[in-house]
């Protein structure tokens, strides 16, 4: 297990600088939230971690391995990262087990090992009994759990989540938070979890990176963030401003 490091990462789209000199060092096995208002650059950071976007300058490293710099770009499929995005599209014509097992095909994992991996992944999200159903026969929350199972079936070192609960109602969000905790406990993967919802970040993460206009405002535990927000903007953002 290796540390995930962003060193002076900048991202520019034509004239617009979207991420400005970002430095983060994420301990293996930790649950980190990237928190900030809409448009602050959270998804862009996640897309660079996933390998969908190169960095404009700076470097992303996973342990000793350089994933992205001006000279180098390791493609998504060579990173062994799991991903769940807001639109967690499942294949409608495939069963739950087939959807979950799909990433194994790309990794050429077959037979007994494939069956066992699917079973394990479904047990983490408590959907062992739903393996043969189609997505249309599931509730929204169950579909989201299938997407979670699919993201962990390859046993990734790092799992990236982009606002995975944004489309769910409040009741379901609370249930899903418990699922995320169980997921983290079971997989021991490093989790980078993007959200604009401070209560979600506070309740799930062990460390939070607060971002504003492409810059890191504060890196802290939920408790530190709540007790000592670094500036007035942040105090207001987390609901502690007067």
Where do contacts with ligand ADP occur on this chain (CB under 6 A)? Answer: 13, 18, 36, 38-44
Contact of residue 58 among Mg ion, ligand ADP, none (CB under 5-8 Å per partner type)? none
Question: How many CA atoms within 13 Å lie on the side-chain side of 58?
Answer: 22
User: Among residues 44 and 99, whose Cβ is nearest to ligand ADP?
Assistant: 44
Structure tokens at 165: 């609960």
Pick between residue 38 and residue 136 the one whose CB is nearest to ligand ADP. 38
**Closest to 193 (Cα-Cα) out of 56, 69, 75, 26:** 26
Q: Taking the complex as a whole, how short is the minimal distance between the CB of residue 222 and ligand ADP, in angstroms? A: 19
> What DSSP string runs through 72-99?
-B--GGGS-EEEE-SS-PPPTTS-HHHH
Considering only the stretches 18-26, 40-48, 101-109, 114-122, report the one whose residues sit in contact with Mg ion under the rule CB under 5 A.
Answer: 40-48
**Under 8 Å between Cβ of 76 and 121:** no
Nearest approach, Cβ of residue 196 and ligand ADP (Å): 7
To the nearest whole angstrom, how small is the minimum distance from the Cβ of residue 151 to Mg ion?
Answer: 17
Residue 195 found at the interface with Mg ion (CB under 5 A): no
The bridge status of strand 65-68 relative to strand 31-35 is unpaired
Can residue 99 be called a binding residue for Mg ion (CB under 5 A)? Answer: no
Q: Does 43 bind Mg ion (CB under 5 A)?
A: yes
Nearer to ligand ADP, 41 or 101 (CB): 41
State the DSSP H helix or E strand holding residue 157, giving kind and residue range, or none if neither.
none
């Amino acid at each position: 297990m290796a540390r995930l490091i962003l060193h002076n990462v900048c991202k520019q789209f034509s004239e617009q600088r979207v991420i400005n000199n970002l430095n983060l060092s994420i301990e293996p096995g930790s649950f980190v939230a990237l928190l900030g208002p809409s448009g602050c650059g959270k998804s862009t950071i996640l897309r660079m971690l996933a390998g969908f976007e190169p960095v404009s300058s700076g470097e992303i490293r996973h342990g000793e391995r350089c994933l992205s710099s001006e000279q180098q770009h390791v493609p998504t499929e060579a990173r062994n990262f799991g991903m769940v995005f807001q639109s967690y599209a499942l294949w409608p014509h495939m069963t739950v087990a087939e959807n979950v097992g799909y990433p194994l095909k790309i990794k050429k994992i077959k037979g007994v090992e494939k069956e066992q991996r699917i079973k394990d992944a479904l047990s983490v999200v408590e959907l062992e009994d739903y393996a043969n159903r189609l997505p249309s026969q599931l509730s929204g929350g169950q579909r989201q759990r299938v997407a979670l199972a699919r993201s962990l079936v390859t046993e990734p070192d790092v799992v990236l989540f982009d606002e995975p609960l944004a489309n769910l109602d409040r009741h379901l969000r609370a249930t899903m938070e418990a699922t995320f905790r169980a997921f983290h406990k079971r997989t021991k993967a490093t989790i980078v979890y993007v959200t604009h919802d401070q209560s979600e970040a506070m309740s799930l993460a062990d460390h939070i990176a607060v971002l504003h206009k492409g810059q890191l405002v504060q890196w802290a535990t939920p408790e530190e963030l709540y007790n000592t927000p670094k500036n007035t903007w942040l105090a207001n953002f987390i609901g502690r401003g007067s």
